[in-house]
Structure 1
Amino acid sequence: MKNQQPAAAQRRNAARIKRQKQRRRRKMIRRLLTVLLIVAAISGIAALGFIAKDLIFKEPVQAYNISKEFTGSQVSASEGKAKLFASDLCVVTEDILLDQVSLEENQTGLLFDISDKKVIYSKGAYTRVYPASITKIMTALLAFKYGNMDDVVTITEENVTLEEGSQVIGFLAGDKVTMDELVHGLLVYSGNDAASAIATHIGLTTEKFVEMMNSYAKELGCTGTHFTNPHGLQDENHYTTPYDIYLMLKEALQYPEFTEITQLGSYTISYERSWGEEVSTSLLATDHYLTGEANAPKGITILGGKTGTTSDAGNCLALLSQNAYGEPYVSIVMGASTKELLYQQMSALLENANNE
C-alpha cells in the first residue's frame, strides 16, 4: 500500500500538469484567434471604407493638371500617370506648336481631337485668362441643367442695370420672357441682360447663381476657373483657362440644345412688354463663321461655341466643330488683338483638323 500511494500521487500530479498545459495552450489559441479577428476586422473596415468612399464620394473625372505635380525633369514621366487621372480627356503636359499657327506672345489656344483624345495644338492651356462672354457657356449649362425652358421670367431692374456699352438685347424691367428665349438671346447674340435674367431666375439671386457656377466648374474638373458674374463683364477675379473652357464645351455636348442654338446665324426673339405689347427683335449671331463674315476651312462644320470680347480679354472664340469625316474637335483662341486676326488664327487651327 505504501508503494501504491506515491504512484497514485504521481499520476494525479502528471494529470494536473497535463491539464495546466492544455489550459495554457487553449489560452494561447484564444489570444491568437482574438488577434487574428481584430486584424481581419480592421482590414474589413478599411476595405469597406474605401468602397464606401468610392461609392458615396465619387467625383467626376477631373482634368490632370501637370503644373500641380510635375516640374522640370519630372514632366517626362507624367503621361502614364495622366491617363489614370483622365482616361476620357485630352491631356496636356506641354505646349505643342504648329508652324502654320501663329498666336501672338500673350495669346493662348488649343486644338483637341476629342474622339481620339489627341492634343494637336496647345499654347498656354493652363494659363489664367479673362473669358469675357465665353462665360456664358457655363450660364447656359446651368440653364439647361436646372431651368425649365417653358418658364416665363419677369425681367427685373437688376437685369437691365449693366455697365455702359454692355451688349444687351434691350429688355425693360417688367418684360416677360420665356427661359427658352433668354437662352437663345444669351448664346446667339450674347445678351448680358439675358445672362442676368437667367441668373436671378435660377439662382434666385445673382450671388447664389455665381456660387452654382463655381460649384459646377469644380464638378467638371475646372481647376483654374473662378466666376464672379454670369455674363463675363470684366472683373479681375473672374477668370478661367483654355483647358477649363474645353471642359465646359465638352460638357455642353451633353445638351443637344446647346449646339442647336449656337449653330444659328440669327434669331428672332419674342417676348411681352410689361404693358402687354408683343415684341419681336432680330438678333445677329456674334460668331462671324455663322454670319458669313468669315469662312471656315473646306470640310469643317461649325457645330457651335461662344465668342467673347472685352478690352482686357481681347477677342476670343471657343468652338465645337467637326471635320470632313465627321470627327469632333474643340478649338480655342484667346486674346487676339482684332476680330480679323482672331478668325485668321482660328481658321489656321481648324485646317489641321482635316489633316488628321
Structure 2
Amino acid sequence: MREDNSMKKKLFCLLLSVTLLTGCRSQDDLSLPFTNSDGLNLTANNSEAAPEFFAADLAVVPDELNHMADPEITAEASLVVNDTDNKIIYANNVYERLYPASLTKLITALVVLEKADLNDTVTISYNASHITESGAKLCGFKEGDTIKLEDLLTAFLVYSGNDAGVAIAEHVGGTIGEFAKMMNKAAEAAGAVHSNFVNPHGLHDDNHYTTAYDLYLIFHQLVTYDKFLSIINNSEYTVTYKDAGGSPVTKTFATTNRYLKGTEESPEGITVIGGKTGTTSKAGNCLILYSKDKNNKDYISLILKADNSDSLFSQMTDLLKMIK
C-alpha cells in the first residue's frame, strides 16, 4: 500500500509541476501533455490519471485560491487545509520559496520514522555537542552521551534542540550530507518537489529552502504516524539517558508550542494536537499545527515568516477561527 501511495505522489508531483508552470490554472483548464520517466503520456485533465492524483488524498491549491487576502494575516505565506476532506480553507503565497527554520525538523522526523529503528541507541558526537552558531537552541547533550533514538527524536521535536538534529542525522545517515540526501528523497516521495534541504535542523543556509505547500505535503505524510502525533502532543518531555561515564542524566524539555503550554488559547471547538515552531532571522517566525474540530475532522494550518512570535500565534489563532 505504501508503494502504491509513493507512486501516486510521484505522479502527483509531475502534475503539480505542470500546474505551477502553467500558472496554477484549475484542473479543467489544463491540457498540456507530458511524459513521465516510465514513458507514460499524461495530461493534467486526463480522466483516468489526473482526478485520482489531484483529489485522492491531497488538497491542491490552484492560482485562484492562492492569493486570499485577510488583513489580519500578514505573514509571507499561510495555509489552512481541511485534511479530512482535502479542502483548502485559506491559502496565500503557498508556492513562494522561503526558509523553513526549524520546520525543517519535520522532514528529518519523516526520514527517521520511515528508515530508522526508534529503539536504537545513539551516541552523541563531538559535532553534535559543539554547535556554535549564535542563538541556536540546544538540548545540551555532551560528547559521549548515549540516548535512545525515540527519546532523542522526541526532545528534537518538542524542544527543538539543534544538537539532537545533528546526532540524529549522523546516526541515521552517517554524515549530515548523506542524511540531507535522504531528506530530499523523502520530500520528493511526499510530493514536496520545490524544496532543498542541506541540514537536519534548519539553521540558516541560503541553499536550504521550501514552500508552504511542500511543508503541508510533508506534514500530511507525518500525521499518518501515530508515534509522530504522540510526540507532538507533549507539553513537556522528561528523559533519562547516560553520560560518557555511564551515569544517568535526567532532563525535562518543554514544548515551544504556546497552545500546548496554555499561554495561547485556541478558538472554541478547536483542539490543537501539536505541531512545530521555527524561527531564524531570515526565516522569520514560523508555525505548523495539526488540529481537530468538534466533529473530529483534522486540519493542517501553517504560517511562514511572521514578524515576531506574538504576531505568529495571534495570526495562527485567526487562521484557526476560519475553521467552521
Q: Unpaired runs of 5+ in structure 2?
A: 32-43
Which residue number corresponds to residue 78 of structure 2? 109
Which residue number corresponds to residue 20 of structure 2? 68
Q: Unpaired runs of 5+ in structure 1?
A: 1-53
Q: Which has the higher helix share?
A: 1
Deviation string for 1:5-56 (max 9, x for gaps)?
A: xxxxxxxxxxxxxxxxxxxxxxxxxxxxxxxxxxxxxxxxxxxxxxxxx99x
Partners of 1:137 and 1:251 lie apart in 2 by 10
Which residue number corresponds to residue 141 of structure 1? 110
**Correspondence list, 1:79-158, <5 A:** 81=45, 83-87=51-55, 88-94=57-63, 95-97=66-68, 99=70, 102-104=72-74, 107-158=76-127
Quick check: which has more Rg, 1 or 2? 1
Is the Cα contact below 8 Å between 2:19 and 2:25 reproduced in 1? no
Amino acid at match of 1:208: E
Evaluate the alpha carbon distance shift between residue 236 and residue 327 of structure 1 in structure 2; reply closer, same or farther with a 3 A threshold.
same
Partners of 1:352 and 1:74 lie apart in 2 by 23
Asked if residue 324 in structure 1 is aligned to residue 294 in structure 2, the reply is yes
Evaluate the alpha carbon distance shift between residue 180 and residue 72 of structure 1 in structure 2; reply closer, same or farther with a 3 A threshold.
closer
**Correspondence list, 1:12-91, <5 A:** 58=7, 60-61=9-10, 62-63=12-13, 64-65=16-17, 68-71=20-23, 77-78=29-30, 81=45, 83-87=51-55, 88-91=57-60
TM-score by length of 2: 0.86
Partners of 1:85 and 1:283 lie apart in 2 by 40
Is the Cα contact below 8 Å between 1:249 and 1:305 reproduced in 2? no
Runs of 4+ in 1 over 4 A off after TM superposition: 72-76
Report the secondary structure of 1:280's partner residue: strand
Partners of 2:25 and 2:78 lie apart in 1 by 25
Amino acid at match of 1:86: F
Evaluate the alpha carbon distance shift between residue 218 and residue 73 of structure 1 in structure 2; reply closer, same or farther with a 3 A threshold.
closer
Evaluate the alpha carbon distance shift between residue 328 and residue 165 of structure 1 in structure 2; reply closer, same or farther with a 3 A threshold.
same
Which residue number corresponds to residue 284 of structure 1? 254
Partners of 1:269 and 1:338 lie apart in 2 by 31
Evaluate the alpha carbon distance shift between residue 70 and residue 172 of structure 1 in structure 2; reply closer, same or farther with a 3 A threshold.
same
Report percent identity of matched pairs.
37
Deviation string for 1:305-351 (max 9, x for gaps)?
A: 11111111011001111111110011001111111111111011111
Asked if residue 344 in structure 1 is aligned to residue 314 in structure 2, the reply is yes
Indicate which of 229, 232, 235 corresponds to 2:202: 232
Report the secondary structure of 2:252's partner residue: strand
TM-score by length of 1: 0.79
Evaluate the alpha carbon distance shift between residue 72 and residue 144 of structure 1 in structure 2; reply closer, same or farther with a 3 A threshold.
closer
Report the secondary structure of 2:9's partner residue: coil
Deviates more, 1:237-246 or 1:81-90: 81-90
Which residue number corresponds to residue 169 of structure 2? 199
Partners of 2:20 and 2:82 lie apart in 1 by 24
Partners of 2:25 and 2:175 lie apart in 1 by 48
Partners of 1:247 and 1:277 lie apart in 2 by 41
Is the Cα contact below 8 Å between 2:73 and 2:318 reproduced in 1? no
RMSD: 2.2
Deviation string for 1:208-253 (max 9, x for gaps)?
A: 1000000111111112100010000000100000000000111012
Is the Cα contact below 8 Å between 1:200 and 1:209 reproduced in 2? yes
Is the Cα contact below 8 Å between 2:180 and 2:198 reproduced in 1? yes
Which residue number corresponds to residue 273 of structure 1? 243
Is the Cα contact below 8 Å between 1:319 and 1:331 reproduced in 2? yes
Which residue number corresponds to residue 232 of structure 2? 262
Is the Cα contact below 8 Å between 2:9 and 2:53 reproduced in 1? no
Which residue number corresponds to residue 190 of structure 1? 160
Partners of 2:315 and 2:127 lie apart in 1 by 37
Amino acid at match of 1:288: R
Partners of 2:73 and 2:30 lie apart in 1 by 26
Shift of 1:165: 2.4
Deviates more, 1:259-268 or 1:81-90: 81-90
Is the Cα contact below 8 Å between 2:24 and 2:62 reproduced in 1? no
Which residue number corresponds to residue 160 of structure 1? 129
